[in-house]
A = this chain, B = another copy of it.
Amino acid sequence: MNRQELVNTIREKKSYLCVGLDTDISKIPKHLLSHADPVFAFNKAIIDATKDLCVAYKINTAFYESLGIRGWETLQRTVEYIPKGIFTIADAKRGDIGNTATQYAKTFYETYAFDSVTVAPYMGKDSVTPFLEFNQKWAIVLGLTSNEGSKDFQLQKVGNTYLYEKVMKTCASWGTVENMMFVVGATQADSIGHIRSFLPDHFFLVPGVGAQGGSLKDISEKGLNKDGGLLVNASRAVIYAGNDENFAEDARNSAMKYQAEMGMYLGNAI
């Protein structure tokens, strides 16, 4: 999916909601466990219930990888089930060099046909640029993450600036606003305005609202740009909103609240 298509979708749906399919087989409603593929049965119901409210789905690959080969089968079924026109994110945080990075890019862009993959920047240019060489595919580079551990390295000073700022500015110089986004945690609302000042046009993938406590209002006020420019992810707060036979309806109600709030903020911005 290209940038203009994504922007159009955000305008049409009045939403920049990304639903995170971090589906943990130990947390899904018990009545699904009799299905041949319980995680897919869950994902299918969540997608059916939220596809008109969100503009993206993010699949946290760890939850699928840990199930072994059948987990990858579930992942493949899930990606294939996501309707065309919704942006797909492999939240896989890959990062390696040269030909190995190309293999990872092919894995997610071609083998599983995602629109994008999250990328870890620690190894530098030759670990990031191989993800930029595919038409209408996106590298989403870790910038400033939502977790406590972001203080350990990302918030260390490199010269006069924080490491995350150095990383984001440097990586941005290797790509364009058409093939690169950044991860910026929702719990970092104080920083998001600052980041927007030096990256006015990039999309940011923002995890951490809901269960992790980030404020949608703060993020939106500081992070929205004229194209939207945000994909705000909610995982647990949507997919585990309920835990019985009405789980899909509960997920829909949760997604509707996010979408309604987003529609309000978008009305002021784009």
Interface 1/0 per residue, A144-170 and B, CB below 8 Å: 010111111110111100010011001
Instruction: List A residues 35-77 near B (Cβ within 8 Å).
Output: 60, 62-63, 65-69, 72-73, 76
CB neighbours (8 Å) of A76 from chain B are 68-69
CB neighbours (8 Å) of A106 from chain B are 66
Which residues in A have some Cβ–Cβ distance to B below 8 Å? 22, 24, 60, 62-63, 65-69, 72-73, 76, 91, 93-101, 103-104, 106-107, 111-112, 120-128, 142, 145, 147-154, 156-159, 163, 166-167, 170
Q: Is the CB of B93 within 8 A of A95?
A: yes
Closest to A97 in B: B147
A63-B100, A123-B147, A156-B158 known; 16 other A-B pairs, CB under 8 Å?
Answer: A65-B103, A65-B107, A66-B103, A66-B104, A68-B111, A69-B69, A93-B95, A93-B120, A97-B149, A123-B150, A123-B154, A125-B149, A127-B149, A128-B149, A153-B166, A156-B166
Q: Is the CB of B121 within 8 A of A150?
A: no
Q: Is the CB of A111 within 8 A of B154?
A: no
Give the residue of B22, B97, B121, B166 whose beta carbon is less than 8 angstroms from that of A122.
B121
CB neighbours (8 Å) of A150 from chain B are 123-124
* Given A122-B121, A124-B149, A125-B148, also A157-B154 (CB < 8 A): no
* Given A69-B72, A122-B122, A163-B163, also A127-B156 (CB < 8 A): no
Q: How far is the CA of A113 from the CA of B24 in the complex (A)?
A: 21
A7 to chain B, nearest CB (A): 28
Q: List 9 A-B contacts (CB under 8 A).
A: A60-B96, A66-B103, A72-B72, A122-B122, A123-B142, A124-B153, A125-B149, A152-B170, A156-B158
Q: Is the CB of B145 within 8 A of A167?
A: no
Q: How far is the CA of A72 from the CA of B68 in the complex (A)?
A: 8
Q: Is the CB of B103 within 8 A of A147?
A: no
